[in-house]
């Protein structure tokens, strides 16, 4: 039976401990450039650790989001996608196929440094989420 360490609740010691599964999932997510769904990550992690359940992947992704290790990107009409990139960046989403790509901070149309206060708020974060057509969907649209 596991016991909690000093200053740690019992649920923290069991729910938030590092595990091979959690570490592998976080490493895989951080290396991905394509903002995968939980199902896509599950398929990838199962190649290395075949006994990981889809529920475990969902639970750990939600934990990563709570801990600030990942961002959950809601896709209207589709599955949520996850981003493990930690640096400041934005996203551009294709309105036709749902593809999501990163926008490097230097290319963002709005930067945090000149925006210190808005409507009396002290700005803590800026999330840039642009929508458009990816190159492939744009080509298809021009052909039709």
CA–CA dist 103, 3 (Å, integer): 44
Asked if residue 1 belongs to a domain, the reply is no
Summarised one tens digit per residue, pLDDT across range 11-53 is 344 455 568 899 999 999 999 988 999 999 999 999 999 999 9
pTM here is: 0.72
Domain match, 50 and 19 both? yes
How many domains does the chain divide into?
2
Domain match, 64 and 22 both? yes
Per-residue pLDDT at 102 exceeds 80:
yes
Return all residues near 111 (Cβ < 8 A) that are at least 6 apart: 105, 126
Residue 116 domain boundaries: 87-143
Instruction: Identify the residue with better confidence: 6 or 92.
Output: 92
Domain match, 93 and 49 both? no
């Amino acid at each position: 039976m596991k016991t909690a360490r000093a200053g740690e609740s019992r649920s923290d010691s069991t729910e938030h401990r590092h595990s091979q599964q959690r570490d592998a999932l976080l490493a895989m997510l951080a290396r991905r450039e394509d903002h995968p769904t939980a199902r896509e990550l599950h398929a990838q992690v199962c190649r290395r650790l075949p006994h990981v359940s889809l529920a475990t992947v969902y639970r750990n992704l939600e934990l990563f989001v709570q801990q600030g290790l990942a961002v959950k990107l809601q896709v209207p009409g589709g599955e949520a996608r996850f981003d493990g990139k930690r640096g400041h960046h934005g996203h551009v989403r294709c309105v036709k196929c749902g593809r999501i790509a990163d926008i490097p901070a230097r290319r963002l149309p709005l930067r945090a440094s000149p925006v210190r206060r808005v409507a009396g708020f002290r700005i803590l974060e800026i999330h840039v989420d642009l929508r458009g057509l990816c190159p492939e969907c744009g080509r298809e649209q021009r052909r039709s």
